[in-house]
Amino acid sequence: MAIKTFRGLMTDGDVRQIRLRTIDGEIGYKMRSFRLMAFEPGADNYESIVKVYSVPQATATASIDFSDLTLLGAGFFTGDTTQQTMKWDTTIVTDAIFNQDIYVTYNDLQGSDAQMNFQIRLEQLLLTDNQNTVATLRNLKNSLPQHG
């Protein structure tokens, strides 16, 4: 099927919802790429963490925990204005298939009010009834509070 691209500019602490869900849930998605780029390269100090989740997030945190099954991807972008260190980024995406909205968070560890661009490329998939049920139930299960 088609590739859908979503992009945006975020400021420190932002949590952004990307609407994907459909009434019947027959369209699924798989993340193909996740990229970051500074708003003003060379103008700000960055230690930025951008994450993509399958469930709503109350806040944008700095920790990255790939044992969290709701985490679909994470990216880290760093650099400083002294040019003594080069800006670089690394991103990791999971192979999860989802059919609900996703949520992008941005946390800047420098606290410098730096802004960060993101681009997410999703592959659309036509889900069978079984795949639809599994994706929807996984999303519901992962969004429930975990009890010790």
Q: What pLDDT score does 144 carry?
A: 60
2-11, 24-33, 50-59, 65-74: range with lowest mean pLDDT: 24-33
Q: Is residue 148 part of a domain?
A: no
Q: Each residue of 1-26: pLDDT tens digit?
A: 799 999 999 999 999 999 998 877 78
C-beta pairs of 80-87 under 8 Å, 24+ apart in sequence: 80/45, 80/46, 81/42, 81/43, 81/44, 81/45, 83/42, 87/38, 87/41, 87/42, 87/46
In this predicted model, what pLDDT tens digit does every residue of 86-121 receive, in sequence order? Answer: 566 788 888 888 888 999 999 998 766 778 999 999
**Within a domain: residue 45?**
yes
- Domain membership of residue 113 as a residue range: 3-143
**135 or 29, greater pLDDT:** 29
d(CA 44, CA 75): 18
CATH number at residue 78: 2.60.120
Closest to 74 measured CA to CA, from 112, 46, 114, 105: 105
Beta strands in 1-148 (DSSP E): 3-11, 15-18, 27-38, 46-53, 71-79, 88-93, 97-98, 102-108, 115-126
Q: Closest Cα to residue 58, out of 145, 129, 130?
A: 145
Comparing CA positions, the residue from 2, 37, 4 lying closest to residue 120 is: 4
| CB-based contacts of 32, cutoff 8 Å, min separation 6 | 3, 93, 121, 122, 123
- pLDDT for the residue 4: 95
Number of domains in the chain: 1
For residue 99, the SS3 value is: coil
